[in-house]
Structure 1
Amino acid sequence: MMACAALAACASAGPAGNPVERKLTWFSYLNGDDLRVACAQDGPDRFRMVFNADYNEHVRTYDVTGDPDGGASVAARVIKAPDLARVDLADPVGAWKGDEAQTRLSPTQYAMLVIRLYESGAFQMLPERLRLPSNSFYWLVSGCRDGQWFFTAYPYPSDRFADIRFAEPLGAMDPTGVAPPRLPSPADAPRSLPPGSRQQDGGVFFEIEVSGKGLVGPHLTLGPWPFAGWFTPRNP
């Protein structure tokens, strides 16, 4: 916990490819701190969509920035559990970097994405606080639209998740070529941290609490968040 406090100044400046930097700034990234600071009436619209499908197994991120011509650029990253049998000694952290790619959206494609976000309630205030364990499945969506900051969440399973309209067009324009994971059945979907996760070996376990304003609690590190979990390193 002292180490976590010492890292509390680590703010995200966007999606990090370096896995060490990503862990130190992950909660700040989820909270959209960099987007929030830059949000202004005369600035471009910027959206961030993060799909957590068990943090230790599969995470997808999309950073969308509107262009003056009406289109947008998309930076996408997929972070999966690394295959340690394929670690390259010339790039020892490469297995943890994830797959990343960029693409551009035409004005029509971008307008459709914004419509789907609107239909999904992304620009409305989150109706309640939510606690989201790292081993669960959820979308976090945040950004700046017309100079106004927004933040929302879609836990699985829930009516909010079932009403998502942006996932399909986002998947159709995904430049990474990495297939999304299959959702577990609602009955099998994790809703809390695994029992005994403090002692478990095999990854990172934490829980975040979110409201319509973002992550709840003191932050900037590992982000505005009440650190309700712990880090357990993987064995090589």
Structure 2
Amino acid sequence: MHRTKPPRRHPSRQVAAICAICFTALAAAGCSYSGGIENPLIRKATWFSYLNGDDIRDRCESLPDRFEVRLVYNGKFTEQVRSYEIKSDGAGGARVTARAMPQDAGNLLKFRLSDPLATGRWEQSTVTLSPAEREQLVARLADSGVFRRAPSGIDLKSWGSYWVSIACRDGEVFFNAWKAGSERWDQQQLWQIVRPLDNTGVPFYEPHPARFADSPTITRSSGDRQAADIHFLMTTGDNGLIGLP
């Protein structure tokens, strides 16, 4: 008896179907971040909520004794983003989780059907701090303005370098931001502070002001649709971000 073989599904179509299902599920979740930033699908759907620290705000409101800090460095969104999560360990110390976009992020040569999201996953490391080390870290963060609020009206362009911080301390939320090329930039030393706590092995992308040559005006006129699509501009408002895409 002759048996007809079932049609063979192309691997790329299988991956596309999986991604479509995942994106649909994430869209249904309302794009509010609640964890899993290392997953590229979650990161894509909830990035602006993560930057604004929506999850930290919720925890700070419900747990007034909580201590938590998130630092995000945007070297250039298409080249490098780094984040640092600093959380109390419940014994007076803290855990610092560093994440960084590898230089070959999105390299299709690393694609594996067994782990289709591997090409978009960031490098990660964790460091544990003693109570004395945590106290020293908190003091240095305070000196850089992490426990102060940013003035309204700071434009943060994805094609330029900036730091964003969101902190919960003593029941209060503090949002701050610094963009390269501004007077406020020299008031912070965040990279110098977190560098000894970063074991990701990813080199630091040197900061630069947002350049017109990298703006969507240029990328669109040059026909680079993909580059133009991933530009975004945010502005600081009342203790947070406004104008989110």
Percent identity (aligned): 35
How many Å separate the matches in 1 of 2:41 and 2:218?
Answer: 25
Counterpart residue number, 1:91: 115
Q: Please give the residue correspondences for 1:60-139 in structure 2 after superposition, counting only pairs within 5 Å.
A: 60-80=82-102, 81-139=105-163
Output the CA distance in 2 between the equivalents of 1:105 and 1:190.
38
Choose 6-15 or 173-182, whichever is displaced more: 6-15
Tell me if structure 1 keeps the 8 A contact 2:93–2:128: yes
Q: What are the superposed Cα offsets for residues 118-164 of structure 1, whole Å, 9 maximum, x if unpaired?
A: 11122222123112111110000002011101101010022222121
> What do the CA deviations read for 1:14-73 (whole angstroms, capped 9, x no partner)?
351221111100000001000001104643200000000111110001111112322101
Q: 2:78 aligns with which of 53, 56, 65?
A: 56
Task: Give the AA of the match of 1:31.
Answer: N
For the residues of structure 2 that align with 1:110 and 1:190, how far apart are their CA atoms? 37
SS at 2:38's partner residue?
Answer: coil
Matched with 2:42 is 21
Moved over 4 A (4+): none
Number of positions where the alignment pairs a residue of Structure 1 with one of Structure 2: 212
In the aligned structure 1, how far is the partner of 2:68 from the partner of 2:83? 13
Larger-gyration structure (1/2): 2
1:210 equivalent in alignment to 2:202: no
Q: For residues 150 and 18 of structure 1, what CA distance do their matches in structure 2 show?
A: 26
Distance in 2 separating the partners of 1:160 and 1:15 = 31
Unaligned runs of 5+ in 2: 1-23
Give the structure 2 partner of residue 220 of structure 1: none
Offset, 1:110:
1.5
Q: With structure 2 as the length reference, what TM-score do the two structures score?
A: 0.78
Residue 33 (structure 2) aligns with: 12
Structure with the larger RCO, 1 or 2 (CA within 8 Å, 6+ apart): 1
Secondary structure at the counterpart of residue 91 of structure 1:
coil
Letter in 2 for 1:90: S
Contact 2:96 2:197 in 1 (8 A): no
- Point out the structure with the larger strand share: 1
Partners of 1:91 and 1:131 in 2: how far apart?
Answer: 37
Report whether the alignment pairs 1:39 with 2:60: yes
- Is the 8 Å Cα contact of residues 33 and 49 (structure 2) preserved in structure 1? yes
* Structure 1 spans left out of the alignment, 5+ residues: 218-224, 228-236
State the superposition RMSD in angstroms: 2.3
SS in 2 for 1:39: helix
